[in-house]
Amino acid sequence: MASADAPCYTLVYEDSSETPTTQELRTALQKGSDEVKFDTLRKIIVSTINGNHQPQLLMPVIQYVMPSRNKQLKKLLHFYWEVCPKYDDNGKLKQEMILVVNAIRNDLQHPNEYIRGATLRFLQKISKDQELLEPLVPTCRACLEHRHSYVRKNAVFAVYSIYREYEHLIPDAPELLQTFLAAESDATCKRNAFVFLAHCAMPKAVEYIIQVFDQIPTMDELLQMSIIEVIRLDCKQETAHKARYILLISELLNASSHAVKYEAAATLTSLTQNPAAIKAAASCYITLIQKESDNNAKLIVLDRLDALRIKHGHVLDPLIMDILQILSSADLEVRRKAISIVLSLTSSRNVEEVVLFLKKQLQKTQDQEFEKAPEYRQLLIQSIHVCAVKFSEVAASVVHALMDFLGDSSNPSALDVVAFVREVVEKFPQLRRTISEKLVQTLPEIKSGKVYRGVLWILGEYSEDIQEIQDIFRQLRKVLGEIPILASEQRLLEEASAEDGEEKKDEQVKTETTKPKVLADGTYATETAFTSVSTARLEAVKAASKPPLRALILGGDFFTGSVLASALTKLVLRYSELSSDKRKCNALKAEAMLIMASVVRVGQSKFVTVPIDEDSSERIMNCIQTLSELETQPAVHEIFLKDTKAAYSKMVAAQERKAAEKRESEKAKAAIIQVDDLLSFRQFSKKAADDVIDDSEDVNRATGAGEVTEDFISNLSRISQLTGFSDPIYAEAYVKVHGFDILLDVLLVNQTSDTLQNLCLDFATLGDLKLVERPSVYTVAPHSFQSIKATIKVSSTETGVIFGSILWEGPGLAEQCVILNDIHIDIMDYIKPAYCTEQQFRSMWTEFEWENRVNVTTTISDPREYLNHVMKATNMSCLTPEGALSGDCDFLSANMYARSLFGEDALANLSVERTEDGSIIGHVRIRSKTQGIALSLGDRITMAQKDNKPPV
């Protein structure tokens, strides 16, 4: 047997410091007990598969180990026969192997069924050694009639292995196994025999299916799976049994085994596109998802269900309520996937049923406490939002139900409700009045500042009735408490002081402790503590129960205070337009100005957690100024009352346009086949109806056969020089990145006039890279070339470094070495642009702990151009809408997002400003879950900034 055809074995670590000599191993085999022999033989096997064959130990193994009756030793002996060199230097079988063949024949006739079965399994491993197998074939055939099923099932596969390699050794194997299959009663033996027929004699396998057609639904699970596989293969050719196959597969949809059901459903969709069959397969998938306990299996089946939906569209519409039952699963990912399928199947015919079901699920999240309830609630709210915006007839029925969740303790859910309500009041003017009334009623229940800001904006923009405006002011008084805020808080403090009978407000009780404290310079000091009674009372006043909006303002949320001021300004301006009663209008204006001034005053006092910021103070003062100059500034009225609403309308219209474009692009993907289009025949064989089952596409993707071939210039850009031109060996490497592998094609040039012997290219890696192959040894002639390939596995998106050296023996067997330049692996090959919602971005931004901040230093003067430059350099997509980036402005802030092939998320926020001299200043903040990707992207941006053009 040629060495090129030798099988490959797993390398096992061998501790060279403890390797015994050949003589020691021989002695241990000769004089040791069974335990010592076992350990010794194990060492010999490890040494053999690592390249140290030790042929002189073959005879001692035959003499001292082979006669043993120990079962463990016999099993280990099989491993040794598998890896030991069986042929001499001339390629002929060694004489000693005759003794081995005789021992194997004896084991095949052994009365113990375990030894017989284990030996038959061993024959499958040496199926390429014809000279060894030939004397054993009659004994192997005889084992097919053994009384024990363990022997028979291994005998079937032994015959299969021999027949597959050397058909002439058992020419009648198909007829032999067909007879065996007809007479066999054991399920595993029948399955093994059927697998043999399926791979070696397909017509006989089909004949067997037709013979036992009626019994197949009651057969064993393993045999049913094999039969389904044969049906799938047979139907790829022209067959007369297709109708019967479809009938059989339809019956197997009701099998007790989940695996059989799954395979049957997948095969049925490949055999026919009949709507009834597609619906039956989909129903089977849904049943599997509901009954299967493994969440990974559920997600896989959901993917298949989604593939059916994409191919067969509205055929699955009647099953939408069955798919909704999957929401009873506890896993959030399963629920998310099921809801996405449901939303894509929702139509005007079933939207009311879907929304009703989702509302019931939403109610359950409040009534029952279970894991990840807030996230599930948020998912349901977002789904109802999508349905209501897409189908206006259900908007009115769901909007009031969802507004009950504005006071939800889970902030994201409440924010989703606000976003939904804001979109509904913009799109459906007839619902504005009732929604506004409901919002006013829910103001006391709201806990979050973000939710308050959204609600106040809606009330300020869409309240268009005098009575409505008065109701809003009345409710705002309740949620703000007593006005002015500062005066009422001061009075509470004075009352607390009076109750304690304090005469001096600023009296302090000094309490001295003798606790020593070590200072920075190592000396000791006495620590003195001051306890202020008035400070304690102030904290008590701060901690007292307060109305919700007042509590937010005193807690330092002055952004909400500025939104309140803006909403009050809009309400007063609109009231002045609607009402002719000057006295009431002035009273309302004065109250609004008092509230605003009160917010500013309290923000500068000691009663707030943090003082008011400059932006919020300026915003509130602008609102006060607007109301004080009510009659003289009509242009400001238009900004408050029309421009902000117009901006939101424009944003909603842009979102709708984007969604419509996406739908159109999806429709455009469907291939339109014209009457005179060319028909393509793939190898003149019938293409399966469902491409999901055709594995050839997956194989092409895995091997890279379907990839676009790169041009010559692109290949040149990936060449790295490893050594210098004056070195004895010149080396350069072409770095090809393919999926999770890096292929290094290294070219070595011997620049000397000597023959370089035992030349070895040794690579080592830094980062999440692993070298797959062990380096081979080469001999390179003078001034000749040698090409060496090495494969490296990548396991994460982190900048990896490959370094190494070339070792060889020169003249006089003197060892020489050249150290190679480092190869830096570019992570851009693993990062692809991706998209996520604003809520998902914010959630990940909060969650991710690694941040890398890169300061902007560039000669680019346009912020928008710099954004495109960074996006191109980092392969990230911009999440900020085009409308928010358009226009001429000296400031720019944008969010970017990308995902790696390993499922890692990378977030970035770009904030830049153009200065008066035309240069750009600012920073890019990158966040990720792991440190590597954040640092790598930061380095990439820094490198890209050195030149206006991103690196290729």
pLDDT digit string, tens, across residues 235-281: 877 778 888 888 888 888 888 888 888 888 888 888 888 888 888 88
Q: Is 792 helix (H, G, I), strand (E, B) or coil?
A: strand
Residue 314 CA, distance from chain mean position: 29
Burial class (CB in 10 A: 0-12, 13-18, 19+), 395: buried
- Cβ proximity of 229 and 212 under 8 Å: no
Helices (H), 253-294: 258-271, 275-291
* Tokens (6 digits) for 304: 């298949």
pLDDT less than 50: residues of the chain: 1-4, 502-514, 528-531, 683-694, 696, 703-709, 949-952
Answer positive or negative: Cα dihedral of 146, 152, 156, 157. Answer: negative
**Residue length, the chain?**
952
CA–CA dist 853, 567 (Å, integer): 37
Helices (H), 84-134: 96-108, 113-125, 130-133
Q: What is the pLDDT of residue 232?
A: 84
Cα distances from 884 to residues 262, 657, 898, in angstroms, run: 48, 15, 20
Burial class (CB in 10 A: 0-12, 13-18, 19+), 949: exposed
Tens-digit pLDDT profile for residues 76-121: 888 888 888 888 777 788 888 888 888 888 888 888 888 888 888 8
- Cβ proximity of 878 and 896 under 8 Å: yes
Strand partners, 266: none
Q: Which residue reads 């193994």 in tokens?
A: 61
First CA to last CA distance, the chain: 49
CA–CA dist 314, 383 (Å, integer): 20
Burial class (CB in 10 A: 0-12, 13-18, 19+), 764: exposed
Q: What is the pLDDT of residue 798?
A: 66
Q: Is 465 helix (H, G, I), strand (E, B) or coil?
A: coil
Q: What is the pLDDT of residue 730?
A: 92
Dihedral-angle region of residue 357 (phi above 0 means left; psi in -120 to 50 means alpha; beta otherwise): alpha
- Cβ proximity of 476 and 571 under 8 Å: no
Dihedral-angle region of residue 463 (phi above 0 means left; psi in -120 to 50 means alpha; beta otherwise): beta
Helix 395-403 crosses helix 432-442 at what angle (to 10 degrees)?
10
- Cβ proximity of 95 and 62 under 8 Å: no
Q: What is the pLDDT of residue 111?
A: 86
Q: What is the pLDDT of residue 522?
A: 60
Q: Are strands 800-809 and 823-825 parallel, antiparallel or unpaired?
A: antiparallel
Q: What is the pLDDT of residue 540?
A: 60
CA–CA dist 629, 651 (Å, integer): 31
Q: Which residue reads 């800001």 in tokens?
A: 453
CA–CA dist 850, 939 (Å, integer): 15
CA–CA dist 469, 571 (Å, integer): 6
User: How would DSSP label each residue in 795-845?
Assistant: -SSS-EEEEEEEEEE-GGG-EEEEEPPPEEEPGGGTEEE----HHHHHHHH
Strand partners, 769: 794
**Which among 720, 819, 725, 825 has a CA at the least distance from the CA of 763?**
819
Q: What is the dihedral of CA 408, 409, 411, 415, to 10 degrees?
A: 10
- Cβ proximity of 491 and 458 under 8 Å: no
Q: What is the pLDDT of residue 223?
A: 86
Instruction: Measure the CA angle with vertex 408, ends 402 and 410; round to 5°.
Output: 115
360-391 burial by CB neighbour count: b if 16+ within 10 A, else e? ebbebbeeeeeeeeebbbbbbbbbbbbbbbeb
